[in-house]
Chain A
Amino acid sequence: MIGRMMLCFVVALGGNTALAAPPFIFNQDTIDVTTNFRGTNLELTTFLDLDNPTIQMVIVGPRATLTFREKERRAGMWVNASKVSVEDTASYFAFIGFNEGDLEYMCASADLQGYAPKTDLSFDWVCDEEQRSLMAEKGLFVFIPPGGNQNLGRGFHRITAFVPPTAKPGAYDVRLSVNGSYADAQIDVRRAGLERLVLETAQNSRLFYGIVCLVLAALAGYLTNLIFSRRS
Chain B
Amino acid sequence: MGFELHFPIADVSVSFPLLMFLGFAVGVLSGLFGVGGGFLMTPILFFLGIPKLVATSTEAVQIAGSSLSGVLGHFRRKNVDLKVGSFIAFGGLGGTTAGVILTRWLRSTGQVDTVIEVTYVLFLGFIGSLMLIESLTSRARSRSGVAKRSHAHTFLHRMPWRLKFPRSKLYMSGFLPIGLGFIVGILTALLGVGGGFIMVPAMIYILGMPTLVVIGTSLFTVIFLTASVALQQSLVNVSVDILLALCLMIGGVLGAQVGVRLASRLPAQDLRIWLAILVLVVCGKLAWDLFVFPPAISSVEVAV
Contact = CB atoms under 8 A, between A and B. Distances in A.
A76 B5 CA distance: 37
Interface string B271-304: 0000000000000000001110010111111111
B164 interface: no
Nearest to B301: A67
Band of interface residues on A: 35 or more
A220 B240 contact: no
A175 to B, nearest CB: 21
A83 B107 CA distance: 13
Given A210-B231, A217-B65, A36 B304 contact: no
A77 B114 contact: yes
Contact of A210 (B4, B7, B8, B234): B234
A224 B235 contact: no
Given A68-B300, A214-B61, A217-B249, A195 B6 contact: yes
A66 B302 contact: yes
Interface string B234-270: 1100101111011001100100010000000000000
Interface in A66-95: 66-71, 76-80, 83, 91
Given A210-B240, A213-B245, A217-B245, A199 B298 contact: no
Contacts of A150: none
Nearest to A87: B303
Contact of B297 (A78, A168, A210): A78
A217 B253 contact: no
B8 A78 contact: no
B110 interface: yes
Nearest to A217: B65
Contacts of A10: none
B227 interface: yes
Nearest to B300: A134
A36 B4 contact: yes
B290 A225 contact: no
B22 interface: no
Contacts of A214: 61, 64, 227, 230-231
Band of interface residues on B: 35 or more
A113 B61 CA distance: 46
Interface in B42-87: 61-62, 64-70, 72-73
Contacts of B70: 221, 225
Nearest to B299: A69
A134 B298 contact: yes
Contact of B73 (A69, A70, A225): A225
B113 interface: yes
A63 B296 CA distance: 26
B259 to A, nearest CB: 12
A221 B68 contact: yes
B257 A78 contact: no
B9 interface: yes
B155 interface: no
A78 B114 CA distance: 8
A169 B304 contact: yes
Contacts of A119: none
Interface stretch (A22-30, A47-55, A103-111, A200-208): A200-208
A196 B6 CA distance: 12
A220 B8 contact: no
A220 B243 CA distance: 13
A83 B111 CA distance: 11
28 contacts: A34-B6, A35-B7, A35-B243, A36-B3, A37-B6, A67-B110, A67-B300, A70-B297, A76-B291, A77-B291, A78-B289, A131-B300, A134-B299, A134-B300, A165-B13, A168-B302, A199-B8, A203-B238, A206-B234, A207-B234, A209-B242, A210-B235, A217-B230, A220-B65, A220-B246, A221-B66, A222-B68, A228-B69
4 cross-chain pairs, A with B, having the tightest CB-CB distances, nearest first = A210-B234, A221-B68, A217-B65, A221-B69
Given A35-B5, A35-B7, 17 more contacts: A35-B6, A37-B6, A62-B304, A64-B303, A68-B298, A69-B298, A78-B290, A78-B291, A130-B298, A202-B238, A203-B238, A209-B242, A210-B231, A210-B235, A216-B245, A217-B64, A222-B72
